[in-house]
Amino acid sequence: MTTRRTVLKGLAASAASSLMGPSLLSQSASAATSSAGTWRLTGSHWGAVEALVKGGKVTEVKPYKNDPSPTDMVNGIKGVIYNPSRVKYPMARADWLDNRENADRTTRGDNRFVRVTWDEAIDLFYEELERVQTTYGPSGLFAGATGWRQTGMFHTCINHMNRGVSMHGNYVRKVGDYSTGAGQTILPYVIGNTEVYSQGTSWPVILEESDTVVLWASDPLKNLQVGWTCETHESLPYLDQMRDKIAAGELRVISVDPVRTKTQNHTGAEHKYINPQTDVAFMLALAHTLYTEELHDTEFLEIYTLGFEKFISYVTGQDDGIEKSPEWAAPICGISADDIREFARLLAGGRTQFLFGWSLQRQQHGEQPYWMGTILSAMLGQVGLPGGGVSYSHHYSGIGVPESGANMPGAFPLNLDLGKVPEHDSEDFNGASGVIPVARWIDMLLEPGGHVQHNGHDITYPDVKMCVFTGCNPWHHHQDRNKMRRAWTKLETVVSIDFAWTATSRHSDLVLPACTQFERNDIDTYGGYSNTGVIAMPKLVDPLYQSKTDFEIFTMLTKRFGRHNEYTRGMTEMQWVRESYETTRTANAGRFEMPPFDEFWEQGLVTFERGENWVRHADYRADPELNALGTPSGFIEISSRTIEKFGYDDCGAHPKWMEKLERSHGGPVSDKYPLWMQSCHPDQRLHSQMCESDEYRATYTVQGREPVWMSPQDAEARGLADGDLVRVYNDRGQLLAGVRVSDNFAPGVVRIHEGAWYGPEDASIGALDTYGDPNTLTLDVGTSKLAQATSANTCLVEIEKFEGIAPSVTAFGGPGEVTL
Ligand SMILES: Nc1nc2c(c(=O)[nH]1)N[C@H]1C(S)=C(S)[C@@H](COP(=O)(O)OP(=O)(O)OC[C@H]3O[C@@H](n4cnc5c(=O)[nH]c(N)nc54)[C@H](O)[C@@H]3O)O[C@H]1N2
Ligand SMILES: Nc1nc2c(c(=O)[nH]1)N[C@H]1C(S)=C(S)[C@@H](COP(=O)(O)OP(=O)(O)OC[C@H]3O[C@@H](n4cnc5c(=O)[nH]c(N)nc54)[C@H](O)[C@@H]3O)O[C@H]1N2
Ligand SMILES: [Mo]
């Protein structure tokens, strides 16, 4: 068997001529010191990297030498540390500092900030928490929106904020996330697990056993460049193997996507173009063909599933008079009836592995295609077979790389210590809910006391007056900027903790400068799901300007009410890091040897043998009773009594085709706004992170703006050429972007990557966004009453050439400093 270590050795050896320096386990910081500076290994979302520190500055960053497939984004890392958008000092919004809750809230975002000292800033933060808790109670505070904080288990800033603020009082929290909100809600009813964050069948098994792999709305080559913890990129060589197998005729890979993806182009996979947002129609017609041609596995359905009859009577039209035949689906999904039938026969003709991406469920009724994915695999009878069945996660954080089985370091405790209560211990939310579905929080601000259905519960929106944000950028991640701007006037106080002057920082009242991960000591998991190793993250440089670690910031805050010793447990940063490592070492003792801490810190990385291959759902297949699924019945639920009982009109007893509020290719609103805008995850960023990296941003911008990708046909029809500046607009907003014409895009399909920094011309509602944040245009409605997740990819736009003098980009460089 090829072990993890032999793989790495092999890689190191093959590249030996171009590499200097020590072997895997002696990537020592001190060993590499010379007059030319010190090379240090550290971890990040973008992989392990080596940084040259010279004269107190990071002067160069390159991929870790054993990274099998480094991302180009490593070239943006230096610019995350050094850029004009860093928050240098604590700052307060000028009008708010004078008038607090009586300040003019319509001027948030007008970029008038005043510098304050750290002491003043922490006083202000504490005073506002006190005021809100005593005046309104816990329903007045929202501190639950969290996101892609930089890596490092100890400094995980979300946990620092939660622990620090929790010591002071209770607050409104969120449930779910933007990534997989619909998927993680529907799948437990269908297949007993969220699936989206679960380990998947090992790649070697898929490559060996599958006849056909369907990449359904999935672009792993793009999305596996980053990981939730330090990414190893071990999954990427499997995509090279996939390419080789396709070339050798040993494997068919089909990408079902409106766009020709990076993965498809790299591997030579076949393209099955589909009209955006119409996958469910296509899937129902596939089910129809499998059923009418008797290609479905009746035995599997009988033993392992419930509710097939009810579903199939919808497919055959017995219950609503509409047969979901290929002829019915063809005009909706843009795939001919013959091609649909042929595709169904191909799926049934051998071992078929579905690999679903997540974008598909970030659209209205996003629950439905996920439910259908399980049903198609069940009809094929392949759930739990090696190289067959369904996965919803292989494009994420190294899922599918065989696990080592080792324990990994734990994170900083996010909750109060056992038995402790907050300073303000009221749990009275004034009759409102203390937990709300994450993507509905702008509705919450707009409709206090309003109701919304969510996953079988009736949620009452609390009357929130203050928000605290850290490690997330809601003025990038949430939909419909102008609606957000209206909601924002409702808030008395907004506190942001970040190292960058993001749009969220600019729309805050108090901004506290955190430092980046490169300015603190930490420890991280190397390989999010593979648990390949533990990596040291030594501080490269001291915190820049007046920035501080999140740990220091919340130590200062908790000191205001005398609980800092409880917060820190009396330990320093290095003591926490050391303890985290030693606890892991003890847990692994006897199974995975780890050197003592000092040795680890010196060598930088400890890795473990790679584990055995594994097949998802194989245990269920082997014994469905002993290994019952987590669904209400324990079986795969093709129809769900539980969901049916909720009585929702937009998510019923079984999957259905439902028209969207906006849909291109002849769907609603397409006469006015004919172009579907997808806001997929960026190839050269992690969401909004790294957008501030000026030099790196310049490698992809067009006339200094975010690119909008479009087909040659759509460009020609509008008299546009590659490199043109355009206005992209709909009834919700408008933005400037730069045209990139590409054959990868079909007519009617355009893309602006999420995470482009929002830079409105001014603070008015409807203002032109000068850089190109797609969420200036997206629709802010829940996927359905079940999940209430984001529907970002249900969005139509029109594009026109921008004539005249273009306003300069306002998104970067931080706000103006005023003196009062
Ligand atoms: N480089 C990079 N990688 C990342 C991230 C990042 O910011 N940058 N973010 C990470 C995070 S947090 C997440 S949640 C994941 C996101 O992972 P995903 O949500 O899976 O990724 P996306 O890039 O949004 O979309 C993947 C594909 O879905 C296709 N698609 C969109 N709509 C439809 C549709 O209606 N039908 C079909 N058939 N296909 C459709 C798109 O064309 C695209 O090719 O990525 C992770 N990886
Ligand atoms: N239209 C559209 N919108 C989307 C999506 C989409 O596909 N389309 N995708 C959605 C998805 S899946 C996701 S996951 C979200 C991502 O949304 P977010 O997670 O909010 O996006 P990030 O840009 O990663 O924001 C992280 C912020 O934390 C800050 N930060 C990083 N590390 C630290 C730290 O250690 N301390 C402090 N104090 N701050 C830190 C960074 O500077 C940055 O501002 O976006 C969602 N929004
Ligand atoms: Mo995400």
Residues 748-766 have a mean pLDDT of 97
Residue 23: pLDDT over 70: no
pLDDT score recorded for residue 811: 97
Separation of 179 CA from ligand 3 center, angstroms?
4
pLDDT score recorded for residue 146: 74
Separation of 146 CA from ligand 2 center, angstroms?
8
Counting ligand 1 atoms within 8 A of each CB, the residue from 73, 263, 359 with the most, and so the one to mutate, is: 359
pLDDT score recorded for residue 33: 60
Counting ligand 1 atoms within 8 A of each CB, the residue from 529, 680, 696 with the most, and so the one to mutate, is: 680
Of all ligands present, the nearest one to the C-alpha of 518 is 2
Of all ligands present, the nearest one to the C-alpha of 361 is 1
SS (H, E, C) 491-515: CCEEEEEECECCHHHHCCCEEEEEC
Question: What share of the chain has pLDDT > 70, as a percent?
Answer: 96
Residue 819: pLDDT over 90: no
Separation of 520 CA from ligand 1 center, angstroms?
31
Residue 3: pLDDT over 70: no
Residue 333: pLDDT over 50: yes
Q: For ligand 1, is residue 369 a contact (CB within 6 Å)?
A: no
CA 615/CA 391 separation, integer angstroms: 11
What integer best gives the mean pLDDT of the chain? 95
Q: For ligand 2, is residue 588 a contact (CB within 6 Å)?
A: no
Q: For ligand 2, is residue 179 a contact (CB within 6 Å)?
A: yes
Q: For ligand 1, is residue 680 a contact (CB within 6 Å)?
A: yes
Q: For ligand 1, is residue 683 a contact (CB within 6 Å)?
A: yes
CA within 13 Å, CB half, 215 = 31
pLDDT score recorded for residue 722: 98
Residues 257-277 have a mean pLDDT of 98
Residue 735: pLDDT over 80: yes
pLDDT score recorded for residue 13: 34
Of all ligands present, the nearest one to the C-alpha of 276 is 1
Smallest CA separation from ligand 2 atom 17, residue? 477
CA 547/CA 718 separation, integer angstroms: 47
Separation of 455 CA from ligand 2 center, angstroms?
25
Report residue 477 as tokens: 């991640």
User: What does each C-alpha distance from 776 to 231, 423, 450, 767 come to in angstroms?
Assistant: 31, 39, 25, 10
Separation of 370 CA from ligand 1 center, angstroms?
15
Q: For ligand 2, is residue 470 a contact (CB within 6 Å)?
A: yes
Separation of 436 CA from ligand 1 center, angstroms?
25
Residue listed under structure tokens 């010196």: 602
CA 600/CA 580 separation, integer angstroms: 12
Q: Which atom of ligand 2 is nearest to the CA of 471?
A: 28
Residues 104-122 have a mean pLDDT of 95
Separation of 478 CA from ligand 2 center, angstroms?
10
CA 461/CA 484 separation, integer angstroms: 16
Of all ligands present, the nearest one to the C-alpha of 495 is 2
Report residue 434 as tokens: 């203390």
Q: For ligand 2, is residue 4 a contact (CB within 6 Å)?
A: no
pLDDT score recorded for residue 32: 56
**Residue-wise pLDDT tens digits, 157-181:** 999 999 999 999 999 999 999 999 9
Smallest CA separation from ligand 2 atom 40, residue? 471
pLDDT score recorded for residue 492: 98
Smallest CA separation from ligand 1 atom 24, residue? 680
Band of residue 10 on the pLDDT scale cut at 50, 70, 90: very low
Phi-psi region of 277 (alpha: psi -120 to 50; beta: other; left: phi over 0): left
**Residue-wise pLDDT tens digits, 381-397:** 999 999 999 999 999 99
Report residue 201 as tokens: 């069948």
SS (H, E, C) 583-640: HHHHHHCCCCCCCCHHHHHHHCEEECCCCCCCCCCHHHHHCCCCCCCCCCCCCEECCC
Please give the backbone phi and psi of residue 476, each rounded to the nearest 5 degrees, phi first.
Answer: -115, -45
pLDDT score recorded for residue 817: 87
Q: Quick one: which of 271, 260, 72, 223 has its CA closest to 742? A: 260
Counting ligand 2 atoms within 8 A of each CB, the residue from 505, 687, 690 with the most, and so the one to mutate, is: 687
**Residue-wise pLDDT tens digits, 208-248:** 999 999 999 999 999 999 999 999 999 999 999 999 999 99
Residues 404-425 have a mean pLDDT of 94
CA 292/CA 523 separation, integer angstroms: 56
pLDDT score recorded for residue 14: 34
Question: What share of the chain has pLDDT > 90, as a percent?
Answer: 94
Exposure string of 551-579, with b = 16+ CB inside 10 Å and e = fewer, is: bbbbbbbbebbebbeebbeeeebeebbbb
DSSP-based three-state secondary structure for 753: coil
Residue listed under structure tokens 């119409």: 278
Q: For ligand 2, is residue 794 a contact (CB within 6 Å)?
A: no
Q: For ligand 1, is residue 222 a contact (CB within 6 Å)?
A: yes
Counting ligand 1 atoms within 8 A of each CB, the residue from 360, 479, 690 with the most, and so the one to mutate, is: 360
Report residue 782 as tokens: 């829940």
Separation of 147 CA from ligand 2 center, angstroms?
5
Q: Which atom of ligand 1 is nearest to the CA of 689?
A: 7
Q: Which atom of ligand 2 is nearest to the CA of 774?
A: 1
Q: For ligand 1, is residue 391 a contact (CB within 6 Å)?
A: no
Of all ligands present, the nearest one to the C-alpha of 789 is 2
Q: For ligand 1, is residue 657 a contact (CB within 6 Å)?
A: no
Separation of 461 CA from ligand 2 center, angstroms?
24
Separation of 546 CA from ligand 1 center, angstroms?
37
Band of residue 820 on the pLDDT scale cut at 50, 70, 90: confident
Q: For ligand 2, is residue 149 a contact (CB within 6 Å)?
A: yes
Is residue 799 within 8 Å of residue 718, measured between CB atoms?
A: yes
Instruction: Report the amino acid identity of residue 578.
Output: R
The set of residues, in sequence order, having a beta carbon less than 8 Å from that of 321 and lying 6+ positions away, is: none
pLDDT score recorded for residue 329: 98
Counting ligand 2 atoms within 8 A of each CB, the residue from 223, 228, 689, 793 with the most, and so the one to mutate, is: 689
25 against 235, higher pLDDT? 235
CA 346/CA 30 separation, integer angstroms: 57
CA 77/CA 45 separation, integer angstroms: 10
According to DSSP, the residues that pair with 259 across neighbouring strands are 745
Q: For ligand 2, is residue 231 a contact (CB within 6 Å)?
A: no
Exposure string of 766-803, with b = 16+ CB inside 10 Å and e = fewer, is: ebbbbbbbbbbbbbbbbbbbbbbbbbbbbbbbebeebe
Q: Are strands 510-513 and 91-93 parallel, antiparallel or unpaired?
A: antiparallel
| pTM for this model (two decimals) | 0.95
**Residue-wise pLDDT tens digits, 118-141:** 999 999 999 999 999 999 999 999
CA 336/CA 237 separation, integer angstroms: 35
**Residue-wise pLDDT tens digits, 524-536:** 999 999 999 999 9
pLDDT score recorded for residue 568: 98
Separation of 178 CA from ligand 3 center, angstroms?
6
Of all ligands present, the nearest one to the C-alpha of 150 is 2
Q: For ligand 2, is residue 476 a contact (CB within 6 Å)?
A: yes
Q: For ligand 2, is residue 377 a contact (CB within 6 Å)?
A: no
Q: For ligand 1, is residue 395 a contact (CB within 6 Å)?
A: yes
Smallest CA separation from ligand 1 atom 35, residue? 277
Q: For ligand 1, is residue 463 a contact (CB within 6 Å)?
A: no
Smallest CA separation from ligand 1 atom 26, residue? 218
Q: For ligand 2, is residue 223 a contact (CB within 6 Å)?
A: no
Counting ligand 1 atoms within 8 A of each CB, the residue from 256, 283, 358, 687 with the most, and so the one to mutate, is: 358
Band of residue 424 on the pLDDT scale cut at 50, 70, 90: very high
Continuous H helices in 137-174: 157-168
**Residue-wise pLDDT tens digits, 616-648:** 999 999 999 999 999 999 999 999 999 999 999
